[in-house]
Each structure stands twice: as C-alpha cells, then as structure tokens.
Amino acid sequence: MASFRPLHDAPDRSYADKLERFGRFAAPELKRIFEGLGLAPGVRVLDVGCGVGVSTGILAEVAGDGAQVVGLDLSLPHLRNATAGPKVALVQADAAALCFRDRSFDLIWSCNTVHHLADPVAALRAMQPALRAGGRIVLAQSGLLPEMYFAWDAPLDDAVRRACHESYRARYGLASANIASVRGLVGLLQGAGMRVESVHTGAIERVQPLSAADRAYFAETVFAGYWDERMTPYLEEPYRSALRRNVDPSSRDYCLDRDDFHHVQTMTVCAGSA
Ligand SMILES: C[S@@+](CC[C@H](N)C(=O)[O-])C[C@H]1O[C@@H](n2cnc3c(N)ncnc32)[C@H](O)[C@@H]1O
C-alpha cells in the first residue's frame, strides 16, 4: 500500500528541472556547507531525498577520493535525470523505510526533504541504525525566514509570500500549522531521540552581476514555476500588476535587470547525533 505523502511525492512524479536549477544556483553555498562538515577521509555519506543529485555530486567532490556517497530518492525521474557524476551511487527507495545494512554511514544529509514525509520523526528514528558509531544526521532547509526579492518594495515581497503560501496550502490541502512545522528542524531531531550538535542559518545572497545559474533559478524556477497562475487568485491589486511588471522580461521594471537587484534567502543546517 502506498504511504501517505503530504506533498504528493510519488515514484513517477518529477520536478527535476526545478531541482537542477536550485542546485546550480545554491552550489557555492552548498559547497561551503559541505566543507564545514569536517568530513574524514573515506567517509560514507547518504543523501536522503537527493533529487537530481546536484548537491550529492558536490558532496562527493568535497568528500574526496576514497569516500562513498550514495544518493537516495523516491522519484525515478529525478534519479534518471541525475547529474551527480560517476562517484555517486543512486538508489530508489522511500526515505521512511531505508534499505541499508546497519552501521553503513557516517553521515546522513537531507536537504529540503523531511517535510515531504508523513512522519519525519519516525523516519529519523528509523534512519539511526544505518549510522556508524559517532555518525550524524544533518538536516538542511532553505527559506525558514522570509526571502527578499524586491529590495525596493517590501509590501510586494510580503504580499507575494502570503499569496505563495496560500496557493501552496490550497494545492496540497494543508493548514497553516502544517507549513509552519517545516521550521522545526531542532525539534524533529530531538523528537527522534538525537542530541542537537549544531545549528546554523546562513544566507544565500545575490546582487548584480547575476550568473546564468542565478538567472535561470529566479526566472524559471521561482517566477515561472512557483509564482504562476495558480498563485494570482491569492494576490490582489496593486500587487498583482506590480508582480507582473517585476517578473516580465519585456517590462522596463524587470527585476533581474535592475542594478539594485538584491536577493536574500536563508539556508539552515542542523546536525544531530545519536
Ligand atoms: C524539495 S526536493 C529536495 C531535493 C534536494 N535535496 C535539494 O535540496 O535540491 C525533495 C526531494 O525528496 C524526494 N522525496 C520526497 N518524498 C520522499 C520519500 N518518501 N522518500 C525519498 N525521497 C523523497 C523528492 O522526490 C525530491 O527529490
């Protein structure tokens, strides 16, 4: 029987393009985060919810020769589109029911994924036997704090964020409390009986000149992929028109062509040990 998945993930569901663009966009920050994990030579790492494996590939590069890095995802299309490189092994499985021998990994990394699980605490508990002595589970989540896209128009940022949340809740039939629960990384690890070793929130921040990866992420993943027609019913005037002007490349007000474009979003990394 298929398990309940709050964000409708499934073995045949794909949002590979979005994941690829996020990975390329956030690559510099992800690399710094992985470098800060103090990975020992020969480390064994599992990336749970690896998506198309962009960050798994970066993880493997940072872990170096001799490391073993495995990416796991529920979605076959994500794995088929994976660009993690030859050093990474990929496994299709449900994060709620891992399929590894006990004491297989020194580190389980999971970014932007645990809130996709019906019972993240139970899943984190079930993952712990796969850790070797002294092993860690490190959860990462972007966007726990409000993001800034329109540095010159705070009310527009607020209105877009609210509309985005409302449309997301409507799409998945979620209550506000379900969305807020994504913020509870510390509590999830504690609930699973782990000791929180560290927690740190850093910024992903961009100004001009934007790279091709930045522009692709903003224009295609965020503007076209999230701020699409499903969101507009939740956005009133004058914000609806203001948003359109800001995200339309043919408009004089296209935000990605403004000299004062300044984007900030957060990435929180929380490490727990058994
Ligand atoms: C938002 S994406 C994050 C991908 C990647 N970690 C990143 O940061 O870009 C969530 C990923 O978790 C996967 N996923 C969702 N539910 C899952 C489950 N029950 N077991 C394994 N993977 C799951 C999805 O297929 C998707 O690739």
117 CB less than 6 Å from ligand 1? yes
Nearest protein CA to atom 26 of ligand 1, as residue:
51
Band the pLDDT of 99: cuts 50, 70, 90: confident
* Architecture of the structural domain at 16-273: 3-Layer(aba) Sandwich (3.40)
Nearest protein CA to atom 4 of ligand 1, as residue:
51
243 CA to centre of own chain = 24
- For residue range 47-96, what is the model confidence (pLDDT) as tens digits? 999 999 999 999 999 999 999 999 999 999 999 999 878 889 999 999 99
Q: Which atom of ligand 1 is least distant from the CA of 140?
A: 8
Q: 49-88: b or e for each residue (b if 16 or more CB lie within 10 Å)? A: bbbbbbbbbbbbbbbeeebbbbbbbbbeebbebbebeebb
User: What span, in angstroms and rounded, lies between the C-alpha atoms of 168 and 175?
Assistant: 10
Mean pLDDT for the chain overall: 94
| Half-sphere exposure (Cβ direction) of 62: Cα atoms closer than 13 Å | 20
For 43, counting Cβ atoms within 10 Å of its Cβ (0-12 exposed, 13-18 middle, 19+ buried), the class is buried
* 75 Cα to the center of ligand 1, angstroms: 8
Supply the angle between the helices 54-63 and 16-35 in degrees, to the nearest 10: 20
Mean pLDDT is highest, among 38-42, 82-86, 162-166, 181-185, for: 38-42
9 CB less than 6 Å from ligand 1? yes
138 CB less than 6 Å from ligand 1? no
